Structure 1
């Protein structure tokens, strides 16, 4: 970074309480010594008065030029930025101090979140950096920061109002994900997904006898020479697919400690959604996103390209868990009335705790839509004998751990019942395991799509 960062700050020089105390005490001791003829009081007060007068003579006569802000406003999980304060000192300014208030899911270097530096006497700009590492996806501001410039002897300070940074967006760090199985119903005009129909493409389907209208470049000469009749190659058409990601933000179970540590259910959903979107967008498919239960997050229409990936990750960074209020339930019911086009693969990322979300997946499957549900509940939360520290993350009941454990066991039984109903209705539910998570279920959906079945209209 070559220049100042953030906005310019404004304030006025003010005397510090220490300077005021030293001045008053010095003159009080001098007056006491003169009136009461106490040379010891004069000896104690004279240095204080001399320093106070000296500091007043060195008082800066103009404000320094201070810029403060963050270097980067978009990060990935685990990446760090710096809160940078740049000072063009005024005559008489000698030191600079910066202190940041703590921000959730952010670690600082130094850990005290405070740092100071001496201003250069040659009037060169002085820069002070506080490293800030974002340990979880989200949309938050760093700080606010308290900035102070001091004069000689700490007699006067230039201290503006606490300043907050621009909102810093930390996008989810996508997990590693690959899928070799084809999407069941590709319906676009371009792409690299294999169509069920023959056409101009790159994947061989069959070698058949020549018919009127076949292109000469499709002639397969080895088979034609061997059989004595002209044969051509038939290929599958290349089409793109539409993938709709439904992220369940009605509940967030577990505690997040950043990449490489423990993850909550919403962490798993956001990172898995980012990984799936990145994979299919790189293969030329179209990806859309709808966050169920989140406020002020519109549906992202299906599109393709790298810019669309950045748009999806930015929306995922703004996801906030619902408050389980009546308005959240109404918002969820309105979101569940979204349109799903023919041939769309719907991927539902949910901890399978919300009954409405699973019921919506079942209704989509009964309408003939290809639906896959990914279970984002942390693995250790599926155990009935949940440890006490993990149980505390699920409930605020601290005085009755036995009752809390029993309530969680009942909730697990209800969850298993709803998941069994969804599977019986044709919605496969798989845990998130990274690469290959969707391969088996996509192959099964592809075979199922080619078989006759009855759907509800």
Structure 2
């Protein structure tokens, strides 16, 4: 497949300006100090005493020494009578480790130590994918309630807990590593499931063109010995004078493979919508819709190391599919270098292929060429995000916008010339609006090798 030529350089410059793929992961905080050290209260009182003693030495007035008596007395009174907390350990419980966007995660940190403690003072350093909603501190535990903000595999972060002695003069710090969580994208609503013309020879719910043991009547035919008598079509029998029976269409399953274009993450400058977020939510909606009709669904993510999962079925398979591609976003960092060939088991013969892409990287045409070489029926779902917004009166910006649109139109034209169906799915809308035009064509035909 040839790549469209118009405005390639100017559009590529605009895409690089909008591309957020170099957003790196946050660095972990430095390790906490080890052993026992002075607390804030002891440091304040000791500072007051030292300042008073220094003032007495500088001024030569003995009565100034009396100012140091008060903090020294307070230090003496605050000395703990019992043993200080020793051997502090922390145990972390996170529930759940797998959730959807917007759901809450509960973290409980249980502290164990020898001796007495006056209070706990936690310091929370969270990752990018969660937000702290509630923090509660008890005698031996710290409870946090977090809300997940975006899909991906996120590092929750760390909590450094200062354990003070009963007088508050000394403290020990223990670090609790909260670990990782898997946040699934919220699937876009999808109820339509277009199917290809040729279906594999497996029992399912889609009506096939060939005869079989289904429930949809496609005609009548003369009675053959051994057929069920309750299927006799009496009006046709009366007209023709011979026994006529119902002819049914076979019911088959469909193989569907969803290709995800993760070569770039384009952020819309107006709405702030991420093309990567919209891609995965649309893919999750497609996967869930086809699994509900008991079809076999697979997934392939294109970008960096190609991740794929061969088609399977069942409600539990949805989570396997989503988890197989969550590594694309790990703490806001993902790799997009290189492009590897698609493995043959990832694209079964005759499987319907959905490619969800923002149409921003020319390398995706290499993938389309591989799919078309295998004669698989294919649908390209475009995510129209990232259109630049020039300033009023900015002639250079308006020219760049025209070139950007021309590049998009050229890519769509190249796809349509090859007989590939192209639909547009706008973030926030239901997938059924995008897939409805495909149903007007009854079924999707495959290409030629």
TM-score under structure 1 length normalisation: 0.78
2:166 maps to: 152
CA deviations 1:3-42 (Å, max 9, x no partner) are xxxxxx99644322541563475488579989x7834523
- Aligned with 1:305 (options 292, 311, 314): 314
Deviation of residue 426 (structure 1)?
0.3
Q: Distance in 1 between matches of 2:213 and 2:136?
A: 67
| Within-5 A mapping of 1:159-308 | 159-161=173-175, 163-179=176-192, 181-221=194-234, 223-224=236-237, 229-254=242-267, 262-295=272-305, 298-308=307-317
Q: Distance in 2 between matches of 1:357 and 1:193?
A: 31
Q: Distance in 1 between matches of 2:248 and 2:216?
A: 5
- Aligned with 2:151 (options 124, 130, 137): 137
Distance 1:402 1:62, change over 3 A: farther
CA deviations 1:239-261 (Å, max 9, x no partner) are 1111011100111111599xxx7
CA deviations 1:138-172 (Å, max 9, x no partner) are 111112222212223421112124x3321111111
CA contact (8 A) 1:137 1:172 kept: yes
Distance 1:377 1:447, change over 3 A: closer
Deviation of residue 317 (structure 1)?
2.4
2:127 maps to: 103
Distance 1:103 1:213, change over 3 A: same
CA deviations 1:399-437 (Å, max 9, x no partner) are xx8756644542331221121011011011101141243
SS of 1:132 mapped into structure 2: strand
Distance 1:438 1:365, change over 3 A: farther
Give the CA RMSD over aligned residues: 3.5
Deviation of residue 72 (structure 1)?
1.9
- Aligned with 2:358 (options 335, 345, 351): 351
Deviation of residue 183 (structure 1)?
3.6
2:69 maps to: 46
CA contact (8 A) 1:144 1:164 kept: yes
- Higher RCO by CA contacts (8 Å cutoff, separation 6 or greater): 2
CA deviations 1:311-344 (Å, max 9, x no partner) are 11112322248656xxx23xx1434877633221
Count of paired positions: 408
Gaps of 5+ in 2: 1-31
Which is further off, 132-141 or 17-26?
Answer: 17-26
Which is further off, 271-280 or 232-241?
Answer: 232-241
Deviation of residue 263 (structure 1)?
2.4
Gaps of 5+ in 1: 1-8, 120-124, 389-400, 450-454
